[in-house]
Amino acid sequence: MTTRSETQTTLDHLLTEIEHRNPAQPEFHQAAHEVLETLAPVVAARPEYAEPGLIERLVEPERQVIFRVPWQDDQGRVRVNRGFRVEFNSALGPYKGGLRFHPSVNLGVIKFLGFEQIFKNALTGLGIGGGKGGSDFDPHGRSDAEVMRFCQSFMTELYRHIGEHTDVPAGDIGVGGREIGYLFGQYRRITNRWEAGVLTGKGQGWGGSLIRPEATGYGNVLFAAAMLRERGEDLEGQTAVVSGSGNVAIYTIEKLTALGANAVTCSDSSGYVVDEKGIDLDLLKQIKEVERGRVDAYAERRGASARFVPGGRVWDVPADLALPSATQNELDENDAATLIRNGVKAVSEGANMPTTPEAVHLLQQAGVAFGPGKAANAGGVAVSALEMAQNHARTSWTAARVEEELADIMTSIHTTCHETAERYDAPGDYVTGANIAGFERVADAMLAQGVI
């Protein structure tokens, strides 16, 4: 029998090979390290997982598409962006994962997100594979007409790679209800098909699911609550720092407030706002969802309880809970040290990989409950899968039913991660629990389906 340390040596060699084969993709390397550094116990215990080629296949996307996206701005000037879709793994179902429109998007970023998505989707227990896509297009400051023309051009290539049984994109940074609408319209026009299940996050009058916009943020708060419950605590009366002010952040703040916590911050790339009275969600939604403005406008209009800190670190604000909900690597080692000094009890990731590896290590060493994104933010993709189920049955469920299903799924993910960590001698380590549990489900399906 192979020991854990011999297995880890093999996995370390594989990681070195991944770095050579995928140069200049640091985010993908980081995501691969995060998973492969926790798999030794399960690979050592179950020899079938050590089968040559299994993990090598898992880290290689099934398909990667890169395409030109030409479009005209309002002045008639031709712009050219780059589009991506990485179809990473379909052992459990059609590829599923969002589209990100942000200037930082490149192949390595999409591969990190697609790789994470495989394990996240497996953890939901639903029949969805892993994929991700997007573009280096920046929607900030663009008119509606420009965003529409961009989305139409993007879909004019993407349509040939997706389908309700093949690959089902959704939103992510820079892609919300408006963009999904334009993308769906162009898909329908090109294909002449009403194929509701080809995209999720649709509008509620035309195939969207109730609670899909809320699902990622709500789900993350439920996950944080479950971690606190394990420690004999609940959310009532806890102060929370939340980063971001987009889809995930807004509904994180909404659920925290509903469950009795006080969410005192939000942020965007210009800085953060701290509001001692708790974030006023109506005002934040008006500024972010209607006016598409910046967070300093919130502080200006809110009055004495709020102030805007340009370019600051939101993690400097003392709190019991931290819920990073903006982007990758936004919470580093120094931030983790500050949070620990200020007595943080739990960190739960609404964003994908927002906490650097060094910060995760520090938080876990200090005994802080740490919920990794692939478990804690899986509520969004879970409700996307419920949207697909409703589309397939040509029906729509009530908000109460979707929310109940979301709560059950989040409880089940928490239990699975918790129990798996205990089974592999890592009690309380949700990173190990999530990685191993997600891996087991995907690896079993891959082994059963042969070398493809």
Rounded-to-integer distance, Cα 136 and Cα 246, Å: 18
**CA 439 – CA 404 distance, rounded (Å):** 26
Q: What is the rounded distance in angstroms from the CA atom of residue 23 to the CA atom of residue 111?
A: 12
Q: Clarify whether 111 is annotated catalytic.
A: no
Residue closer to ligand NDP by CB (options 247, 257) is: 247
Give the residue with the Cβ less far from ligand NDP, 152 or 377. 377
Question: What's the distance, CA 441 to chain centroid?
Answer: 19
How near is the Cβ of 351 to ligand NDP at its closest, in Å?
A: 3
**Hey, is 107 helix, strand or coil?**
helix
Burial annotation 384-400 (CB, 10 A radius, 16+ → b, else e):
bbbbbbbbeeeebbeee
- The answer to whether 81 contacts ligand NDP (rule: CB under 6 A) is no
Q: Going residue by residue from 322 to 361, which x/- string records binding to ligand NDP, judged by CB under 6 A?
A: ---xxx----------------------xxx---------
Q: Cα–Cα distance between 253 and 37 in angstroms, integer?
A: 33
Give the per-residue contact string, 3-42, with ligand NDP (x = CB under 6 A; - = no): ----------------------------------------
Which residue in the set 11, 31, 92, 173 belongs to the binding site for ligand NDP (CB under 6 A)?
173
Under DSSP, is residue 87 helix (H, G, I), strand (E, B) or coil? Answer: strand
Q: What is the DSSP-derived secondary structure letter of residue 286?
A: I
Closer residue to ligand NDP, CB minimum distance, 8 or 29: 29
Query: How many residues in the shown chain lie near ligand NDP by CB under 6 A?
Result: 22
- Radius of gyration for the alpha carbons in the chain, expressed in angstroms and rounded: 21
Q: Which helix (H) or strand (E) holds 410?
A: helix 399-423
Binder of ligand NDP out of 268, 275, 405, 429 (CB under 6 A): 268
Active-site residue identified among 96, 111, 120, 132: 132
Q: Is 247 in the site for ligand NDP (CB under 6 A)?
A: yes
CB 316 within 8 A of CB 291: no
**CA 240 vs CA 230, 352, 440: distances in Å:** 18, 19, 33
> x/- binding map, residues 182-221, to ligand NDP, per CB under 6 A?
----------------------------------x-----
Binding status of residue 245 toward ligand NDP by CB under 6 A: yes
Question: Nearest distance from residue 333's CB to ligand NDP, in Å?
Answer: 18
Residue (44 or 405) nearer to ligand NDP, CB: 405
* Interatomic CA distance for residues 343 and 115, integer angstroms: 33
Q: How far is the CB of 45 from ligand NDP (least distance, A)?
A: 30
Shorter beta-carbon distance to ligand NDP: residue 262 or 325? 325
Percent helix, strand, coil in the chain, to 5, is: 50, 15, 35
Q: How far is the CB of 8 from ligand NDP (least distance, A)?
A: 29
- The minimum distance between CB 315 and ligand NDP, in angstroms, equals 13
Contact positions toward ligand NDP, by CB under 6 A?
171-174, 176, 216, 244-249, 268-269, 325-327, 350-352, 377, 380
State the catalytic residues.
132
